[in-house]
Amino acid sequence: MSSKYSPCPCTSGKLYSKCCGPFHSGIELPPTALDLMRSRFAAFALGLTDYLVKTTHKDNPERKAEAADTEGSWKKDLESIASQARFDSLKILEFVDGDSRSEVTFRAFITKGEEDLSFTERSLFTREDGVWLYKEGSILN
């Protein structure tokens, strides 16, 4: 876990305690889909898989498959990714804001040992009952 005096893993340039920390602890809800996107990247970096599950929409393909899987392989996959990879930085390429639907296109810079796992994704977020959730993403490269 990041110290409140550490830079936020979402690479916003803010302290963790003033950025994603309040979202991860449940003190605040991300006010925009962009804030949720950043907090999810930071959650991967910190191994906060419960937060990732909680902020994923029930209609997300992986979450739907998880509901049918009594072994909980999706959460295990998330834990494996979070523990084995290093989430180096995040670059936001585009943010299309909306009242109940937003899109964030980003480049995640990730390494696993010497292997570069970086990718670009366009993510769809929806807001239900005032809460932003990650619906799905499309890898662009």
Model-level pTM? Answer: 0.91
Residue of 36 and 83 predicted with greater confidence? 36
Does 69 map to a domain? yes
User: What domain range is 110 assigned to?
Assistant: 16-139
What pLDDT score does 74 carry?
80
Average pLDDT of the chain to the nearest whole number: 91
Any idea what the CATH number is for the domain that residue 80 is in?
Answer: 3.10.450.50
With a cut of 90, say whether residue 62 has pLDDT above it.
Answer: no
Contact between 105 and 120 under an 8 Å Cβ cutoff? The reply is yes
What pLDDT score does 60 carry?
85
Does 1 map to a domain? no
Contact between 10 and 38 under an 8 Å Cβ cutoff? The reply is yes
Does 72 map to a domain? yes
Does 6 map to a domain? no
What the block records as the tokens of 80 is 């494996």
Does 20 map to a domain? yes
What pLDDT score does 51 carry?
96
> Which DSSP category does 16 fall into?
G
Contact between 47 and 79 under an 8 Å Cβ cutoff? The reply is yes
Does 5 map to a domain? no
pLDDT digits (tens, 9 = 90+) for 15-60: 999 999 999 999 999 999 999 999 999 999 999 999 999 999 988 8
Average pLDDT over residues 102-108: 98
What's the burial of 62, exposed, middle or buried (CB within 10 Å: 0-12/13-18/19+)? middle
- What CA–CA distance (Å, rounded) separates 60 from 56? 7
What pLDDT score does 23 carry?
98
What pLDDT score does 71 carry?
53
Contact between 52 and 43 under an 8 Å Cβ cutoff? The reply is yes
What pLDDT score does 77 carry?
86
Q: How many domains does the chain have?
A: 1
